[in-house]
Amino acid sequence: THTHTHPPHTTTTTPPALESGRQEDRPGLQSGPAVGCGRDMAFHSELGDEKAFKIQRAEDGVPDLTKISDIDNAGIALNLRTRFARDEIYTCCGTILVACNPFKRLTCFEADDVRRYTGKRFGGEPPHIFATAEAAFDNIRQKEGNQSVVISGESGSGKTETTKLILQYLTAVTNNPAWIEQQILEANTVLEAFGNARTLRNNNSSRFGKFTQVCFSHECNITGCSIEDYLLEKSRVSFQAEGERGYHVFYQLCAACRANTDDRLRYMVEAPKSYRYLSQSTCVAIDGVDDRAMFDDLRRAMTVLDMPADMQHEVFATLSAVLLLGNLEFADIDGESVDFTSSDTALLQKICLLLKTDQAALQKALQYRQIVVRGTPSDIPLRIKDAQANRDASAQTVYERLFKLLIAHMNQKTNPGGRVASFIGVLDIFGFENFKINSFEQLC
């Protein structure tokens, strides 16, 4: 929850996923979030003040949707499509910014573009996410109070990329120690590895929501940031629809261990097809994505975030243990209980070595559930379907706690302490997708 000071300034952004989607999925238009810039800020068209309120035609690709003559679904779609065909992915709707995913790399996010929007009023230049970021930052400079950028849109619309572009702009226009900028930007590398996955519509879809609070000093320089996560899609750890993948980090770890014998032996990692959790969807690779190189980037980001070598080791060991948990099969005992097969026993030994836990305690947790009657605990044997569900729930919980541990570490390293005069909050909520099987996490 975020409370604005007077006057309220809310920015809702519909982002472009510049590299998240697939070119072959390009249906024409896929809209992202929207950005609002303050109730007392007048909007000026890029065509000039004297023509600012002249009604214009949608087929011309007007930069502000409020100026077109036919403000209906067809007119809005035509206007967006016309601009999209010219690689003009941003369109204003008054003080709200709408973005269409280009599904390709564009050249409008370079240092020259940052300079173009620095210090400019909203509407003084063509619509752009940098204009929205500048509007929020200008209100910080003018002591208008804390600001929020709310990013919403369907899956694949580019919300995560827009968040990164806002952070890129804010770090570029402020005078900060290099390590602060580096840690803020590298935190995204870790979050994407552990919280993003390939879906049918998006090769790099965020499967969690997050609120990033960028903190500023009285001199309007960045002093740090904090991240709060929402609703990680835990079910993706153990199940993916056909053609999708689990979280990127699993495949990155497998690729790195395939190339490094020491890591393969240390973490007991095999190829993705060896794991039930990674092979059931038949998709283990993404065209044009080098998982091994991405793993190198992940390790570098962890180092920038001051993550000790022993903590990195424990993170990767835990990931391997989660994958091995999914390979436990269980033997059905008269339909009333389960036991472990010989292959299960070998897997349990590896899992306990990786997690540094007691094997007898783990076996009991996987075979029984405990109830308490009148203060007396009783162990009830699990039937095979219940044991399998318990196994998957355990793997999901371990992964979720690992994810939260990483965020807690990043927040500790980027914590501004008491050096906070104001902040810009960026809310990135994941988009909804309707699958054949929708889990609780997906529906909420």
How much is the mean pLDDT over the chain?
86
pLDDT for 11 equals 36
Closest CA to 17 of 433, 430, 437: 430
- Torsions phi, psi of 120, nearest 5? -90, 145
Structure tokens at 329: 């099969």
pLDDT for 156 equals 81
Residue found under tokens 């035609």 = 57
pLDDT for 13 equals 55
| Across 54-58, 59-63, 178-182, 254-258, least confident range | 54-58
Q: Percentage of residues in the chain with pLDDT exceeding 90?
A: 71
CA–CA gap between residue 253 and residue 338 (Å, rounded): 31
**pLDDT of 90 over the 70 cut:** yes
Three-state DSSP string of 16-58: CCCCCCCHHHCCCCCECCCCCCCCCCCCCCCCCHHHCCCCECH
pLDDT for 437 equals 67
Predicted TM-score of the model (pTM): 0.84
Query: Bigger pLDDT: 247 or 175?
Result: 247
CA distances from 434 to 151, 284, 431 (A): 20, 22, 10
**pLDDT of 89 over the 70 cut:** yes
**Strand 331-333 and strand 96-99: pairing?**
unpaired
Cis peptide before 7 (omega within 30 of 0): yes
CA–CA gap between residue 287 and residue 387 (Å, rounded): 36
> Quick check: 229 and 190 in contact, CB under 8 A?
no
**pLDDT of 269 over the 60 cut:** yes
Closest CA to 119 of 46, 181, 80, 172: 172
> Quick check: 114 and 134 in contact, CB under 8 A?
no
Catalytic residues: 155-156, 160, 202, 205-206, 431, 433
Q: Dump the DSSP string for 362-405.
A: HHHHHHEEEEEETTEEEEEEPPHHHHHHHHHHHHHHHHHHHHHH
Structure tokens at 208: 């969690």
**pLDDT of 390 over the 90 cut:** yes
pLDDT for 440 equals 64
pLDDT for 286 equals 95
pLDDT tens digits, one per residue of 300-343: 999 999 999 999 999 999 999 999 999 999 999 999 999 999 99
| Across 165-169, 226-230, 418-422, least confident range | 418-422
pLDDT for 403 equals 98
CA–CA gap between residue 129 and residue 159 (Å, rounded): 11
**pLDDT of 248 over the 80 cut:** yes
Structure tokens at 345: 């026993």
Closest CA to 252 of 215, 216, 305, 296: 296
DSSP conformation class of 185? H
pLDDT tens digits, one per residue of 28-69: 444 454 444 333 333 333 444 544 456 688 889 999 999 888
| Residue 234 binned pLDDT confidence (cut-offs 50, 70, 90) | very high
